[in-house]
Amino acid sequence: MHTKGFDRLVKKMDEIAGSIDEEVIIQTGGTSFNPQNAKWFDFATEEEIKELCRKASVVVTHAAMSILDGWEQGKPVVVVPRLKKHGEVIDDHQLDFAKELEKEGRVVAIYDVNMLEDALKRANVEPSKVANDRRLVSALKNYVAQFARK
């Protein structure tokens, strides 16, 4: 289980939360930074995450299962991959995944957190190619579940 925090994203999202008129809820995971402008929690159950996605206008995540949770709820997803150059992962698999999803128009992906606020605005107006594609979401969940069983 990956429990290393994602300080870069948490700090930027908290900064944005202080300047917008919308509730922001952040899962901090193993991050040592405690947000000041947003509601936050360390970890939640899968059902709690799904409920948060259901209530969200946009889901912001690293390239992980939360993408599927956002899609399942028909929400636009902004992906901020963890990067090797920041010591957040051991390789850039999330970067590759985010680029592929972005190329297909399935997410708004950013690679520099300073672009996050603009990405949030774009995600609210650009329709996702996945939001209503329940078969794709189901197929991806089944595919990922295979790895969890091994």
**CA-based max dimension of the chain:** 44
DSSP of the chain, one letter per residue? ------HHHHHHHHHHHTTSSS--EEE-TT-S---SSSEEES---HHHHHHHHHH-SSEEE-SSTHHHHHHHTT--EEE----GGGTSSSS-HHHHHHHHHHHTTSSEE-SSGGGHHHHHHHHHHSPPSSTT-HHHHHHHHHHHHHHHH-
- Which whole-number Å values give the CA distances from 89 to 21, 62, 92, 95, in the listed order? 33, 11, 7, 10
117-126, pLDDT tens digit by residue? 999 988 876 6
Residue of 4 and 97 predicted with greater confidence: 97
Parse the chain into domains and list their residue ranges: 7-149
Q: pLDDT tier at 116 (50, 70, 90 boundaries)?
A: very high
pLDDT tens digits along 9-54: 999 999 999 999 999 999 998 888 999 999 999 999 989 999 999 9
Q: What is the dihedral of CA 123, 24, 142, 4, to 10 degrees?
A: 110
Which pLDDT score, from 0 to 100, does residue 70 have?
A: 87
Other C-beta atoms closer than 10 Å to the C-beta of 70 total: 30
Using alpha carbons, select from 123, 98, 127, 128 the residue that is nearest to residue 111.
98
Domain 7-149 has CATH 3.40.50.2000: yes
**In the predicted model, what is the mean pLDDT of residues 63-85?**
86
pTM comes to: 0.82
Predicted confidence at residue 3, as pLDDT, reads 46
Give the integer Cα–Cα distance in Å for 34 and 144: 31
Cβ 107 vs Cβ 98: under 8 Å:
yes
